[in-house]
Structures are given as C-alpha cells and as structure tokens.
Structure 1
C-alpha cells in the first residue's frame, strides 16, 4: 500500500527527548484532559493511518473534559499544538448533550464504504465497555476480533504501574480518554527439550554438542551482562539465579537463558544498581562464596556479574560430565552432589564453599582429553574464590569459540 505521508511525532509521556520519536502514517496529536480535580494531564503521540482522521474528531462525547488537536503537515508538528480545555458544563446540560449525541449515533445510517469495512476500524465514540458488551452479545463467544484487539493495544497509553505479580504487571492506562487497567503478560517461545537440567539427565553428548550447549549459554549470559546503547539498546543485567534448571535447550541444541525473576539491572546514568523488591533468594547450591558469607558489595554492579560467573562455572561442570570420551561418560549429577544433601542449608554450603573451599571434582578421563581438559580449566577460573579472579562471560565465549575452531567445529 502506498502511504500519502509518514510523520515523526513527539510523545511527552516518555522520558529523554532523544527517545520520544514515533513514526506514523496517520496524524500526530496533543491532548489535554481534566484528571478529576487534579492538574490537567497533557499527552502527545501519533495515531495509525487507519481511522486516525476520525479519531482526531472524537472529543465531543468523551466522559472526561478534554481537548484534542491533530496535525500531519511536518515532523514533530504536535510539539506546537496547545489545546485548551473547554469550559465546565453543568451536570444537567452535559447529560442532555450526551443523550442527544447518543441518539444521533444510534440513528445514523451505516454506509459500507471505506474505513467501516475495515475490521480494525473502531468507530468514534465507542468506549471499551461498549466494545466488550458487543463482543459478549455477539453469540460467537470468541470476544473481540484479533485485529481490533491489536488496534486497541497500539492506541493505549501506559500511565503508571498499579500492581505486579511474578508473571505479570497491571498498569493504569488511557484509551480514547478512558482510564483502563492493562494487564501485561510475558509470552515466550516453547522449547520441548525442557531445561538443561532435564536434557542432561537423559542425553549424552559428543564434543560438538557439549561445545554448542556451553557456547550458546555463555553467549546469552554475555548479552545479559553487556549494556547496549541506542534506540534498540538495553541496560546491563545480572541474572542472580543461574542454574541448569533456568537454562532452556532449543531443538537445534542451542541454549537460552530463562527466569529473570531475580535479575538486577545497572543504571549507567546514575551509576546505581536497580534491585527490584523481591522476597525470593537464589538457589543455595549455586551461590558463590561472597553471597554465602554475606561479603558481596550490593551497591557494586560488577559484584553481581562475578557472582553469575561462579554459577556458570558449575553449569559448565554439569555439561562436561555428560560428554563421552573414550567410550566413558559420567551419570548426571548436580554440583556438590557428593558433599551436601539434596536440599542443603546455607550453613552446609558455607562450610563446603567458603570454609573448606571445596569445588566439584573432575573425572580422571578429563586429563586425557584435550577438550575436556580445557573445559576443566575454564570452569576452575569461573568459580575462583576471589570474584576479581573470575573470567568474564566475554572471555569464556572467546575461549569456547577458539576451542571449536581447533576441533574444526562450526557452532
């Protein structure tokens, strides 16, 4: 489809000006709303091509007092729009006016042309309650059409978070002047092989499969740990609960990191660590010595990065044990299986890891296989007692890439 125009708009609901850019094929707008006795709220943004001209006219029958102005003549044109709230009306007049407008809408003939044929088009004046009631009374039981749902989702402006659970958040938002509650879900790919823990229990590995699991896992960890700048950027993130049960295996034998429920991010602008309020703690078996003895510097982001690397060293050990060499392979076991119980206490782990400074043992066969010997060296440098001595995720990634090259393996 050829669009007549594509504009860049200003969105005042976001933070830095550099990030307040939105491209659209429709109109850009600025709207001022009366927030029930509070100061008026100003919002700006851009609308999609379909229906935007009609939505720009839709102010008369809003439940809140508001004013809306639209433009489409140049980039950032809505920066120069200054809508003014209409004067307050008496309750009686408001009631009569809304009744008259409703009757006009009801009796208006419907022409089967243009936008009204488009299932994504939502007529002006329709409230979310109206749409839900229509979908429930349609008899199909399927709810709103998918494209209508998508259209609404694009038009909703998030205002503030009002609730949060382990798997979702609830936000107060605005849609066409109405205040709505928006529940956000996290939807991810499904990986039928399950977690790395499940996979290793039932699968033995050759050298290539071992390196693929290890390399893809540390690549994901490296991505988490790295801050990326720009419009598609991300902050540096530390996982804080790395273990084989929190890594998933894809069909192609590569891994991806899951369950970021304990993750912390680094805010580079203020040099602060953003730690979400959470009563959960990490898995004791995988905790580094500085967490077990409570010496970790919680204000220093690099402390969390190095804690992740200790846990990753244990994961490398789990992977390497399942690699066949010379026809020999060890059965799957959790780290420290021979030193602590199946559900160790903090005191158990502190004694083994901090006081005795013990680590998982290597099978004798590893010394006669060059690849397994190098894997052993890698994990030893990851789980070093001193956090500053541990390898970074990037260093482990580069080392595994060199090991693959030397084995003539393409990952």
Structure 2
C-alpha cells in the first residue's frame, strides 16, 4: 500500500477543481491506497473509506484567503511527517509550498481580474492576487511534476512563469456520464414543467460567478440588449451564479426594461437546468479549462465559449462557429446567437458526437492517468 497526501481547500462535488480533487481522492481510496487529505472540508463519501485520513484545517472567518497560511503550514507539516513513508504529495497551485507534484487548475499570472464594485472589494482583490502570484510562482518553480488541465494552461505556465515543458503533463477533466447526459424528449418536458419553463420557449443559460468580469457576463448582457431590439428574438436568458456584481446586473436589467433575463442565484440542480435548456453561453475572458461548458456539451447542449478557453481544445472543426474569437465583442456574440437560434436542430445534432466522446472519458479515467504519472 502506497501513501498519498492531497492538499486543497475542499474535497467536495461542487466547483471545478473541488470536483476534480474529490474524484482523484475517491479513485485512490478505491485502489486501497492510504490517502491523507489536508483541507477545510471533505465529503462524507471519502471519510467512509477505511484508508482515508482527514487532517482538517479551520476556515478562519469563512475565508479561503485568511486561511491560506494555515492550509500551507498544515500541508507542509504532514508532508514532512509522511516523507518517512515515501508518500507522494500533491498540492494545488500555490496553496502549499511543497516540491513534489503540483496540480494546476488556474494560472493567476495569466489573468488580472477586473473588479467594478466597491473600493474594499477592489482592494481585497488586489491584495489577494499579489499573494496568489507570489505563492504560485514559488510553488511551481520548485515542483518536480506538474499536472495541468489543458494545453492552454500548459502554455500559460511556459509563457508566464518560464516552467520547463518536460515537467508538464496535460490531463483533461472527466465527467460523471450518469449525471450529465442528453435528456429524452419526455425527460426534457418533465424538467421544463418542474422549472416552470414553457415547453416551446427558447432558453439560453449562463453559469458563472458574478464577482468580477472574468466570466464575461457584461459582454453577454450587451449582446442580449442588442438581440432584444429585434422583433424576431424570442428567448429567455437564465443566469446561474452569485457574487458582488449580482445586484448591479439585476438593477441594470430592470433599468433597461429587459424582462427576459432571470437571475436564479446559486443552484444545486445544474444538471437538470442544462438538460432543460437550449444553449449555454460562456464568453469568459480567461478559463484554464471550463468544466461548466464540458458538462453542457455532455448534456447535448450547444455551448458558445471563448476560443482561448482550455475546453475549446476539445471542440471538433464542425463546431468552430461556437467559439468566440474576441470575448469583448458583443456584436459578434449577438450574431453567433442569432445564427444558432435559426439553426438550433443543426447545432444540436453536431454536438451529439462530441457529447458521446466526452461522456466516454470519466473522472476515473482522469484519475487513473494522474495516478500513473505520479506512481
């Protein structure tokens, strides 16, 4: 039995990197390995394994930023202790300064957030980014092996931090095909009834944090305003996400007299929402990968996304119309939405092939690839 120490904020099934870390921990535990987890939260499913040990780190003030020094310190303490057992230690980005395996889900050096709300919020964003940049650079320079979630991330590390390519290994995220799959017409009709959506209404969905402008909702909002001026545009926009800018966008929609944007806040039924919707839009300015887009495609949903997002690497040539060349170009986005709207059945049929392919690569497949790299 080998020992593994994994360090991250949370091992749960929500969020991109959290879901990926959960999957790896779960896979290693099912192989009968000794798994040590340093984190704030761990799902009960992982705690039920006999060979999983949870070394809990208090979350000070319910803040990941304030708790980061303690997570780093606790991870290093256990890494030194488990070195006696020749354990492999996997950290995430700059969250723990250790020189073994680093799994990178986001490159802070690749994107500078644009905060528009409140001086305190902007100051916090500036301070946290400076901290994350320093931690990221130090941790990645010293890592022996680096796992990345896309070739986009790989290139960012080489360009922004001068990381040697021989240390970098691309492993894409997986999926649970039993949760994310194309709904049958009957299932879709039932879901729409539960959600209160008319069966024949076109529904476009946006999923992303509204804490800054990274996810590009401002571009989508401007494009939507333009589309609503056309008498033949008849669609609803459903927005899933929370953040400091949520009240701002709610006010702007009201002030502009736009009644077909529905802000639903945080939702735990994202698979149902994707299966019931017609299209997902993600004009993100920076996305190391884009698990939400991946999940939408697995549900058979056409997904319009920035061409520079990591997940765009997995789009076949026939879906290039769904890739946005310039995430700030609201006119181009509106044009692509109009084109999709006029050819919905065509784009849905094109997505079916990539949906099948993505659903064939599970979280276990991802985890096995990482296990083989680090074992």
TM-score above 0.5, yes or no: no
Looking at both structures, which has the greater relative contact order when contacts are Cα pairs under 8 Å and sequence separation is at least 6? 2
Using the size of structure 2 for normalisation, the TM-score is 0.28
Using the size of structure 1 for normalisation, the TM-score is 0.26
Structure number with greater Rg is: 1
